[in-house]
Chain A
C-alpha cells in the first residue's frame, strides 16, 4: 500500500488532554464516512482510535505530559480500499499501526 504522495494523507497532532481522543476519533469518522465505509466499520475505527490514543497516553511515561501523538491517517482515496492509522509519539516512535480494510458493498 505505497502512498504515492501526501495528497491522500491527513496528519493530526494532538496533545494529551481530556477529550482529545474524541476529537481524533471524530476526525477519523468523517474521513471514513467520506470513503463510504459502513456504519459498523466507522464505529470500529472510532473505538480503535480512542483505544490507541489512551494506550499511548498510559504507556508514554512522559513526566511533563508534553508528549504528543501524531496520527497519520492514510486514506488512499485513489483506491478507496482501506484506512491506515499510525499513532506515533513525539519522539517519532511508531506506537501503533492499525489497518482497516474496507468491506466491498455488492
Chain B
C-alpha cells in the first residue's frame, strides 16, 4: 500500500487483456459525468482513453503487462496519465513516418491512427517516452 493518491485522483491498474480498455473508459465516463461534462465530451474522452490503452497493449512490450491510469479531477477539466513500463517509442519519428507514407493501402489506414485520434479528441496531449516506458498525459477541458 505504498502508493497514495490525493483527494482529486483515481488510480487504476489494469492488465493488458481484452476488454480492460473498456473498463478504463467506463470508469472515465462515470467520473466525467460526475464532473458535468457533456455527453459528446464524455464519448470523446472514452475513445481517447481506449486508443491510449490499446496502443500500450499492442506496442509497449511491457514485461509486467500492466497499464496504470491516473484520473485527475481538476477544476477546469479532467486529466489522464496513461503509463506503461514498455520499450517506449519516439513520437517525432512516428509523425515523420506517417507524413512520408501518404499512400497507404486502405486496409492499412484503418490501423495506426491512435495518436492522431487522441490529439483530435483531447484539448492537450503530452507524450513522454523512453526505454523505461511511456506516459501519455492528456486533458479534456470543461467548456462553459
The answer to whether A77 touches B17, judged by C-beta atoms less than 8 angstroms apart, is: yes
Q: Which residues on A sit within 8 Å (CB–CB) of B31? A: 19, 23
Interchain Cβ contacts within 8 Å, total number:
88
B124 to chain A, nearest CB (A): 23
Q: Which residues on A sit within 8 Å (CB–CB) of B15? A: 6-10
Q: Which residues on A sit within 8 Å (CB–CB) of B3? A: 13
Q: Which residues on B sit within 8 Å (CB–CB) of A15? A: 5-10
Q: Which residues on A sit within 8 Å (CB–CB) of B23? A: 10, 27, 30-31, 34
Task: State whether A13 and B26 are in contact (beta carbons under 8 Å apart), knowing that A34-B19, A68-B5, A92-B1 are contacts in the complex.
Answer: no
Total count of chain A residues near the partner, CB < 8 A:
33
Docked Cα-Cα span, A85 to B101, in Å, equals: 48
Please classify how large the interface on chain B is, using the bins under 10, 10 to 19, 20 to 34, 35 or more. Answer: 20 to 34
Docked Cα-Cα span, A65 to B20, in Å, equals: 30
A22 to chain B, nearest CB (A): 5
Q: Please tell me if B106 contacts chain A, counting CB pairs below 8 Å.
A: no
Q: Please tell me if A18 contacts chain B, counting CB pairs below 8 Å.
A: yes
Task: State whether A7 and B17 are in contact (beta carbons under 8 Å apart), knowing that A12-B10, A15-B8, A17-B7 are contacts in the complex.
Answer: yes
Q: Which 4 interchain pairs have the tightest Cβ spacing?
A: A34-B19, A19-B34, A92-B1, A11-B13
**Could you list some 10 contacts between A and B, CB below 8 A?**
A6-B15, A7-B15, A8-B17, A10-B15, A12-B12, A13-B3, A31-B19, A31-B20, A31-B23, A34-B18
